[in-house]
């Protein structure tokens, strides 16, 4: 399939989506119809108005509608927001998943809890318990003048319940149709007392507990079978050259490749078949590492617990005081495909060598002899996977957030004053598969470790003595304290209504701390002793904003807003925004907005890990384009080391690289534009089309590693010594050229007339991306990355067309609710860093749920995710063999939930 074929698939898919959309009911339609007459404050504005009169494209979905579709966590909700965001799952760490609206980066999507920003770190959204939610509000327009000029891609606001009376307990769980793992269990509860109207107070507490079991790779062998890997462009092991394996491949330590006429290198066990299942014969008499499915996982194990409580007290008729507290603890244990090899992430780390004094030296009696090898010092390319197993890290994150709000009326003003404090901490520790790298060097040198096979008892004991399992690899903390104050009032009357003014301001302190203990994590499963690193940084941010709403006529409303932010380390920036709503008839409305944005680099982007020199090694192996020429650009095979250079370090090897922070990185600036039309020819039908355009300049980013090696234009980033040796690749964060994207958001809903069988309705949310281009260098060429990966973000997939469609039925008595949901993502050009060309197939899954509320105290739900048991498409972009970031490997999954109301 080629790129043109991918583009032609759109017309065939759109009718199918529309057809399904003519069979369901929309939650959005309810939100926009039921709340039309009630004026509320909606994300994107500080002026209360009816939901249907919004000039900005805001999608409001009630929490009960998410629950009716079987949503269990905030992750589930984000995954279903086809129009609102590109979900970026984090499958390999515990940092947390994140929303990436418009595909321009997670740091440019502002996530709020009750209208207040969460920590300026990639916080795990599952820290918010679903049981506390009242609704979600998604502003698809960027650069909000109310919450922050850094909301370039858009805003997602999770709004909690104002009050709750009663109590309920919910049990939930899921089980894949195929055995082997991937099950989940959980419970949630909520209890509250007091009535704000009659008692003048209310307090409630709610919590979620979720447990997700890991899914071993051995339980889904078809996903990473040899045939599937070959279809994605992975070469068969026998066509792969060496690298780190068990038994170790060897080269001469002095860099020479021949002794007389004998070519030196390869593996002493090549002739005997290497060591299954850990390796198999490859090219040039080498052994090639093989993945062992028995201990690797396709999904990570996790435990999540969150608690939220809110208390509200009425102070007379005009004032209300409330306080809320959120606490969450999230634990993740990913076991992904291991990084074979002992290449550590320490700059200029000594090579792993073996000398003739070791009893394991080839030809000394235990390990077979190799032609031409007598008593020379040898460099080893060794993997300890057979002895240590896969590398496993434990990730734990904790979030604590306190908010105090005072709101009410003072004269003609509606006011709200808030104090909030948030603490976010992370800890990464070694779980298994890690040893001290310096101890490893010594163990091979003194003959206690065998690099050519599994260890005997002496070797096992020695590995145990240098294990770092259980030690802390990294710890971090972010603390934010802030105060918000806002007020609004009516000023005068125009033909269309009252002119409204809103003003506000905020001040917050942002502090971050990061600690790397003396024993640090390295990518190959080993650790090395370095000096401890403790870094901290902070900034103060103050902002003021004003908003004026002019209802010029009953049909035309214009809103003007401006915001000024002052950063203690960047100075001030002022960003205006204008929007309008024009409704010439009851059945049609035009809306639009334009504004500018500003995003300062985060503390981590500017300060943490900033150094002139290497900060680690590349994530995979590459040929040094100068010292190992002859291979395809960006390839790991086909190159030949120049005379005098060690092939094990310049060919098919991980190269030193600096991917850290940069104190010189500056802010980003943006322009956003939206123009839309909303048709409501009947009360039952809604169709909206919104054109969006985002232009980002001075974007903060770094080149992907394949781009560095594939494009000779970046040879200047390869920092070398006077002899040509590679010191490191300079890939620090920096201000690039820019990003620009535009497209259309489509929402259509239709509610069929009620019958004695109930009511049916439809919803379709889709996004068509017309253009997504990246400018790597200022004034450089613009590079398109629609339906293919771009040169900056290694894993973001900007689909030309994707959508979510649903069909919903509610019985006549309201006791039964059933929803069928379809999620579609178009085919996508794979990373294809080698010579093979591969296209990731389109991915379509169907989910179904049924809910019954007919019992007095019970509510029951059952459902099926991935009804047709669709496997994730084959892919090579993450090196895992399948599209791990965009499709679930679990397969068909059965879900159930039961709620008892006390």
Could you tell me the fold of the domain covering 38-223+297-337+393-434+469-600+667-698+737-901? Maltoporin; Chain A (2.40.170)
Q: Name the most confidently modeled range: 84-98, 624-638, 657-671.
A: 657-671
pLDDT (average), residues 853-860: 92
The CB density around residue 383, as the number of other CB atoms within 10 Å, is 26
What is the spatial distance between Cα 379 and Cα 359, in angstroms, rounded to a whole number? 16
115: phi > 0 → left, psi -120 to 50 → alpha, else beta; which?
Answer: left
- Tokens of residue 290, six digits: 């093989």
**Residue 8 forms beta bridges with which residues?**
none
How is residue 724 written in tokens? 């040509």
d(CA 361, CA 346) in angstroms, rounded, equals 27
d(CA 567, CA 539): 7
Measured at the CA of 73, the angle between CA 71 and CA 78, to 5 degrees, comes to 80
- For residue 576, is pLDDT > 90? yes
CB 390 within 8 A of CB 431: no
DSSP per-residue string spanning 601-617: PPHHHHTTT--SS--EE
SS3 239: helix
Task: List the structure tokens of 295.
Answer: 């201990």
Phi, psi of 334 (to 5 degrees): -80, 140
| Distance separating the N- and C-terminal Cα atoms of the chain | 57
Can you tell me the mean pLDDT for 515-535?
63
Helix then strand then coil, % of the chain, to nearest 5: 10, 45, 40
Determine how β-strand 700-701 pairs with β-strand 759-775. Answer: unpaired
CB 586 within 8 A of CB 555: no
In the three-class reduction of DSSP (H, G, I as helix; E, B as strand; rest coil), residue 56 is classed as coil
Instruction: Round to whole Å and give the CA distance between 661 and 465.
Output: 35
Cα angle value 274/278/283 (rounded, 5°):
50
Domain boundaries, the chain: 38-223+297-337+393-434+469-600+667-698+737-901, 603-664+704-732
Residue 220 C-alpha from the chain's centroid = 24
Inter-residue contact 496 to 556 (CB < 8 Å): yes
CA 553 – CA 319 distance, rounded (Å):
33
At residue 342, the pLDDT reads: 54
Torsion of CA 103, 109, 113, 118, to 10 degrees: 120
Mean pLDDT score, 22-41 = 39
Report in angstroms the alpha-carbon separations of 94 from 264, 311, 429, 881, 887: 44, 31, 11, 22, 19
| 149-191 pLDDT per residue, tens | 788 888 888 889 999 999 999 999 999 999 999 999 999 999 9
Among all chains, which residue has been given the structure tokens 């006390």?
A: 902
Geometric angle at alpha carbon 752, from 748 and 758, rounded to 5°: 130
pLDDT digits (tens, 9 = 90+) for 205-255: 999 999 999 898 889 988 888 888 888 887 766 556 667 889 999 988 877
Q: How many CB atoms lie within 10 A of CB 395?
A: 25
Token reading at 539: 């900034």
State the pLDDT at residue 121: 57
Interstrand relation of 526-529 and 435-436 (parallel, antiparallel or unpaired): parallel
CB 543 within 8 A of CB 506: yes
Give phi and psi for 220, each to the nearest 5.
-135, 60
- Neighbouring-strand partners of residue 735: 700
Q: pLDDT tens, 53-109?
A: 566 777 777 777 777 666 666 667 666 665 444 444 444 444 555 677 887 877 788
Residue 899's pLDDT band, with cuts at 50, 70 and 90, is very high
Quick check: helix, strand or coil at residue 883? coil
Residue 757 has pLDDT above 60, yes or no: yes
CA-based torsion, 751, 753, 754, 758: positive or negative: negative
Say what the pLDDT of residue 253 is.
Answer: 84
Q: What pLDDT score was predicted for residue 60?
A: 79
pLDDT level of residue 306 (50, 70, 90 thresholds): very high
- Residue-wise pLDDT tens digits, 113-159: 888 877 665 566 677 888 888 888 888 777 667 777 788 888 888 88
Count of helix runs (H) and strand runs (E) in the chain: 11, 52
458: left (phi over 0), alpha (psi -120 to 50) or beta: alpha
Give pLDDT tens digits for 369-420: 998 898 899 988 888 888 888 778 888 999 999 999 999 999 999 999 999 9
Question: For position 177, what pLDDT does the model report?
Answer: 95
For the entire predicted model, the pTM comes to 0.84
């Amino acid at each position: 399939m080629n790129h043109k074929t991918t583009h032609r698939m759109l017309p065939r898919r759109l009718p199918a989506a529309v057809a399904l959309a003519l069979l369901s009911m929309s939650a959005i339609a309810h939100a926009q119809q039921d709340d039309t007459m009630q004026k509320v404050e909606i994300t994107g504005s500080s002026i209360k108005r009816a939901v249907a009169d919004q000039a900005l494209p805001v999608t409001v979905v009630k929490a009960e509608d998410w629950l009716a579709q079987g949503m269990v966590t905030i992750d589930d909700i984000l995954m279903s927001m086809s129009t609102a965001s590109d979900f970026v799952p984090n499958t390999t760490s515990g940092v947390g998943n994140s929303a990436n609206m418009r595909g321009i980066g997670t740091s440019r999507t502002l996530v709020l809890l009750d209208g207040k920003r969460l920590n300026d770190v990639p916080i795990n959204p599952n820290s918010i318990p679903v049981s506390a939610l009242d609704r979600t509000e998604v502003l698809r327009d960027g650069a909000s003048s109310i919450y922050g000029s850094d909301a370039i891609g858009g805003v997602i606001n999770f709004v909690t319940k104002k009050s709750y009376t009663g109590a309920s307990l919910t049990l939930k769980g899921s089980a894949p149709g195929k055995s082997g793992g991937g099950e989940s269990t959980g419970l949630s509860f909520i209890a509250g007392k007091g009535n704000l109207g009659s008692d003048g107070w209310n307090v409630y507490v709610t919590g979620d507990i979720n447990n997700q079991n890991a899914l071993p790779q051995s339980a889904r062998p078809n996903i990473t079978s040899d045939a599937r890997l070959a279809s994605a462009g992975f070469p068969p092991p026998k066509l792969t050259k060496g690298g780190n394996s068990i038994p170790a491949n060897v080269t001469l330590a002095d860099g020479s490749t021949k002794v007389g006429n004998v070519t030196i290198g390869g593996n002493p066990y090549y002739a005997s078949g290497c060591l299954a299942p850990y390796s198999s014969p490859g090219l040039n008499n080498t052994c090639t590492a093989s993945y062992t499915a028995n201990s690797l996982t396709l999904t990570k194990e996790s435990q999540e617990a969150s608690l939220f409580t809110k208390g509200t007290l009425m102070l007379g008729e005009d004032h209300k005081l409330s306080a809320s507290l959120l606490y969450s603890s999230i634990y993740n244990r990913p076991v992904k495909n291991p990084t074979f090899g002992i290449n550590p992430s320490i700059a200029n780390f000594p090579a792993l060598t073996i000398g003739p004094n070791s009893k394991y030296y080839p030809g000394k009696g235990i390990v077979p002899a190799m032609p031409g090898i007598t008593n020379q010092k040898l460099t080893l390319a060794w993997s300890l996977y057979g002895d240590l197993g896969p590398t496993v890290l434990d990730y734990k994150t904790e979030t604590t957030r306190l908010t105090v709000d005072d709101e009410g009326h003072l004269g003609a003003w509606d006011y709200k004053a808030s104090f909030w404090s948030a603490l976010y901490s992370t800890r990464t520790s070694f779980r298994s598969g890690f040893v001290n790298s310096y101890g490893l060097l010594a163990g091979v040198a003194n003959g206690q470790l065998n690099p050519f096979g599994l260890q005997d008892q002496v070797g096992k004991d020695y590995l145990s003595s240098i294990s770092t399992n259980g030690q802390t690899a990294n710890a971090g903390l972010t603390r934010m304290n802030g105060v918000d104050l806002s007020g609004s009032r009516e000023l005068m009357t125009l033909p269309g209504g009252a002119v409204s003014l809103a003003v506000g301001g905020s001040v917050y302190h942002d502090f971050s701390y990061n600690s790397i203990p003396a024993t640090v994590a390295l990518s190959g499963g080993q650790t090395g002793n370095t000096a401890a690193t403790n870094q901290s940084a902070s900034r103060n941010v103050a902002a003021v904003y004003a908003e004026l709403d002019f209802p010029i006529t009953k049909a035309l409303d214009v809103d003007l807003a401006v915001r000024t932010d002052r950063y203690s380390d960047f100075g001030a920036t002022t960003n205006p925004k204008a929007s309008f709503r024009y409704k010439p008839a009851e059945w049609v409305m035009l809306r639009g907005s334009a504004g500018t944005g500003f995003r300062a680099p985060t503390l981590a982007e500017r300060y943490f890990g900033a150094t002139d020199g290497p900060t680690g090694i590349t994530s995979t192996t590459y040929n040094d384009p100068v010292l190992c020429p002859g291979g395809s650009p960006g390839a790991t095979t086909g190159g030949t080391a120049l005379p005098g250079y060690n092939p094990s370090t310049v060919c098919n090897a991980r190269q030193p690289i600096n991917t850290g922070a940069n104190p010189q990185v500056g802010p980003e600036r943006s322009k956003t534009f939206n123009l839309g039309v909303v048709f409501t020819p009947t009360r039952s039908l809604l169709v909206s089309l919104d054109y969006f355009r985002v232009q980002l300049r001075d974007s903060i980013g770094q080149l992907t590693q394949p781009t560095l090696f594939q494009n000779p234009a970046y040879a200047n980033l390869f920092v070398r010594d006077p002899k040509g040796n590679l010191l490191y690749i300079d890939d620090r964060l920096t201000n690039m050229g820019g990003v620009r994207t535009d497209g259309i958001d489509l929402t259509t809903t239709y509610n069929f007339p009620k019958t004695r069988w109930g009511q049916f309705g439809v919803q379709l949310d889709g996004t068509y991306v017309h253009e997504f281009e990246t400018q790597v260098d200022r004034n450089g060429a613009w590079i398109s990355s629609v339906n293919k990966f771009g040169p900056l973000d290694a894993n973001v997939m900007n689909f030309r067309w994707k959508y979510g469609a649903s069909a919903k039925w509610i019985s006549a008595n309201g006791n039964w609710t059933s929803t069928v949901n379809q999620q579609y993502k178009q085919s996508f050009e794979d990373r294809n860093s080698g010579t093979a060309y591969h296209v990731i197939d389109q991915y379509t899954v169907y989910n179904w749920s049924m809910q019954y509320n007919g019992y007095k105290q019970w509510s029951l739900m059952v459902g099926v995710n991935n009804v047709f048991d669709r496997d994730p498409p084959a892919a090579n972009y993450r090196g895992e063999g399948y599209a791990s970031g965009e499709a679930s490997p679990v397969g068909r999954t059965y879900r159930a939930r039961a709620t008892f109301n006390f």
